[in-house]
Structure 1
Amino acid sequence: MSGATGLPEQLTTRLRTVFDDARTRAAGIGPAVVDATDVLADFVLGGGKRVRPRFAEAGRAVAHGARAVVPAADDTDAALVDLGAALELVQACALVHDDIIDASDTRRGNPTVHRVFAARHAGDRWLGDPDRFGESMAILIGDLALAWADDLAAGLPARLAPTWRTMRTEVLAGQLLDIVNEAGRDESLGAAEKVIRFKTAGYTVARPLELGAVLGGADDDLVAALRTIGLDLGAAFQLRDDLLGVYGDPRVTGKPSGDDLVTGKRTVLIAEGFSRSAPGQADELRTLLGTDLDDAGLARARAILTESGAQAAVEARIDSTLASALSAIDSLPTSTEARDRLAGLAHDITHRAA
């Protein structure tokens, strides 16, 4: 980035502007809409790793590093900030809706959006069911985030539009597959891997990398190479998330311990557990998944996944996938600085604790 401040600071400034403008419009509609806007603003500005904007920035850096000449005054800076802000708003939509689907109580150590509104409903003694009200409000707030993301994306260079449209469909389709797999008790590795590809890998890394590269003027071959790298890194990101969802420290992750076990998510870790466990242990794991587990139940489910070799298998997948991505990064026809930036991000997302 050019200028005195980096992308995270510029993102925060831009997002504040988006929410200030939205609040002004909401004031002409009613206090409830202003309140919803404020809750969304607090959610977006109150945390997050900004993974997607960072990969978009890395993609643009790779594109610039591959060019013989990059203008000193790069006219894509403002577009990169708007792209990053739009990606963060799509992420907000996904997280708010995901928390409803998973019936999660906390996110980043705070009550989830639907729980915030359920508590307000109960505290004010309003009519109807507080949980139903909270979920309804959160659905609409997530929709607002997606609409405002599209508003920002509409102002980006037209060459980004096809990838943006593809990314939106992929992440929603991946979420849909995730729900169906869970309800249908699909225990196959193939089903879990397909969810990773569409719900996380493309949306978290591959598409942001691609968007940044296209913004920076990359040719088709370079965009394709980055997309492949991004799918590898996105898969590794989700595999680490699967492990954290079972073994993570809630004081670090901001979510309850063993949350994925309680919700019964059919992750690669769980699929590995079913395929590697002895029949009796696999049956026991099935009875534990998707139930309100106490400490003993959580410990037993973790033990099955560890003793079966599922945990080690997922760690090995992360290592292998990361190695593949790093090798491909080394071969990119770009500057050393751009390769180092992307490799650093690769290590950050695969060796994180939250």
Structure 2
Amino acid sequence: MLELRPTVVGAAGLVDDPLTASDATRAVEAVLARFLDAELRRTREVDPLFARDVAGRVSAFVRRGGKRLRTAFLWCGWRAAGGSDDPTAVLRTGAAIELLQACALLHDDLMDGSPLRRGAPAMHVDLACLHRTSRMSGSPESFAVAATVLAGDLALAWADDLLMETALGSPHGTRLYREWRAMRGEMAAGQYRDIHAQAVGTSGVDEALTIATLKSALYTVERPLALGASLTVADECVLDALRSAGRCAGLAFQLRDDLLGAFGDPSVTGKPAGDDLRTRKLTYLLAVAVELADTSGDKEDALALAPGPAYRSDDAVERMRAALERTGARAEVESKIKELVATSLWHFETTGADAAMRREFAAMLERASGVAPDHAGEGR
């Protein structure tokens, strides 16, 4: 049994003073550290060069952290579904999710050509620098692409190893693995829909929502909540309520991310401002703006938002940003986020989770969406 602190897990394996999601996130950090240390030792035995150049960088990237939202929602799903005994399996599942997230981010930055992640050079940028400083032959960019693909693959392999070990040791392992398998497939499908929409210049609202659902809503909140619940004896009604709450919360998170991508402060987000606009990535924000510009007949804004060069100039990005404001798309997306947050909280309350858990979920919703729910279910 994983000992977290004396007042949390008693000798019989029962939680005497239930952890909060923040406590669980810190505990997952410890699980990750032990797992990564062990994997690095094994990797050095396989090949010291690969361990130094690739595995070491993946390990450092994972340890550098992030929001850890998926871990927090995983814990919330477990507690809302009645989880209260030994938390080892749910914490190990949280660590596996963080490794899967590392894979997704490494590959996503590579596909998008993003130079920064978490305030530091993205993996492909760092590996291109390694090529140059080591005076290797060939193209630094080609080397970096290949090595970053392998880095993401390694993170995915580590995630699957940890999840499978956890599933094999849990009485709920079959249900846990079903959720995990679905999440991996949805994540890949969402990523492909994203790059396909960008390649063909799609602007449709329905397509943007499909991408946001597959790539983010399911993967960020719905599946983590369901993964946590799958480690309990919760019935399908509770699982369905958590999935509905998670889908709405996940969409709210993605729409907030869209707004930050267009208007956010790089010193806060850790990513360059306007990257999505520069490449005209299809987001719900962009799709709404295009629809509003077409409906109003505003040719200037429609032209600024229309498909064009693969990479847009700073002036073109500023024109797009102004169009997002003038069309009313930014305000409409803010309104949609508030609606999704309220609906998510309503679904969560139908799980029968206690008032403390509902308050915690409401706080997590605010953290993910930037919107404070109107109420957190006190006294219900």
Question: Normalising by structure 1, what TM-score?
Answer: 0.93
Pick the aligned partner of 1:284 from 304, 314, 317. 304
Secondary structure of 1:186's counterpart equals coil
Task: Compare 88-97 and 253-262 and name the one that shifted more.
Answer: 253-262
Residues 29/3 of structure 1: CA separation in 2 closer, same or farther (3 Å cut):
closer
One-letter identity of the residue aligned with 2:368: I
Match for residue 377 of structure 2? none
Give 2:212's aligned amino acid: I
Residue of structure 2 equivalent to 1:110: 120
Partner-residue secondary structure (3-state), 1:264:
coil
2:31 paired with 1:21: no
Mapped to 2, the partners of 1:2 and 1:216 lie a distance apart of 20
Give the alignment of 1:1-354 within 5 angstroms. 3-4=4-5, 6-35=23-52, 36-64=54-82, 74-75=85-86, 77-155=87-165, 156=167, 157=170, 158=173, 159-277=175-293, 278-286=298-306, 290-294=310-314, 296-351=315-370
Cα distance change of structure 1 residues 206 and 289 upon mapping to structure 2, 3 Å threshold: farther
RMSD between aligned residues:
1.6
Q: Distance in 2 between matches of 1:259 and 1:253?
A: 12
Unmatched 5+ stretches in structure 2: 9-22, 372-380
Q: Deviations over 1:274-301 (max 9, x none)?
A: 111123321222256742422x333221
Which deviations, in whole Å up to 9, do the C-alpha atoms of 1:96-153 show, x marking residues without a partner? Answer: 0000000010001100001101011011211110011111111101000011100011
Bigger relative contact order, structure 1 or 2 (CA pairs below 8 A, ≥6 apart): 1
C-alpha deviation, 1:329, in angstroms: 2.5
The residue that corresponds to 2:17 in the other structure is none
CA 217–2 in structure 1, closer or farther in 2 if over 3 Å, else same? farther
The Cα shift of 1:338 comes to: 1.6
SS across alignment from 2:336: helix
Give the Cα–Cα distance (whole angstroms) in 2 for the partners of residues 282 and 172 of structure 1: 31
Asked whether the 8 Å contact 1:19–1:37 carries over to 2, the reply is no
Report the 3-state secondary structure (helix = DSSP H, G, I; strand = E; otherwise coil) of the residue aligned with 2:67: coil
Tell whether the 8 Å contact from 1:261 to 1:289 is kept in structure 2 after alignment.
Answer: no
Structure 1's unaligned 5+ residue stretches are none
Give how far 1:16 is off: 1.4
Cα deviation, residue 257, structure 1 = 1.3
Is the 8 Å Cα contact of residues 280 and 307 (structure 2) preserved in structure 1?
no
**1:28 aligned counterpart, secondary structure:** helix
Alignment: residue pair count? 343
- In the alignment, the residues of structure 2 paired with residue 218 and residue 282 of structure 1 have an alpha-carbon distance, to the nearest angstrom, of 49
Helix, strand or coil for the counterpart of 1:332?
coil
CA deviations over 1:180-214 (Å, ceiling 9, x no partner)? 01101111001110001111000100000001011
Distance in 2 of aligned mates of 1:45 and 1:62: 28
Question: Does the aligned pair in 2 maintain the 1:178–1:195 contact within 8 Å?
Answer: yes
What is the one-letter code of the residue matched to 1:55?
F
Deviates more, 1:326-335 or 1:16-25: 326-335
Matches of 2:152 and 2:232 in 1, distance apart?
30
Q: Contact conserved, 1:332 with 1:339, CA < 8 A, in 2?
A: no
Distance across 2 between alignment mates of 1:348 and 1:8? 14
Deviation at residue 64 of structure 1 after TM alignment: 1.3
Q: Deviations over 1:287-318 (max 9, x none)?
A: 56742422x33322111110001111111110
Identity, in percent, stands at 39
Contact persistence 1:202–1:231 (CA under 8 A): yes
How many angstroms apart in 1 are the aligned matches of 2:232 and 2:180? 15
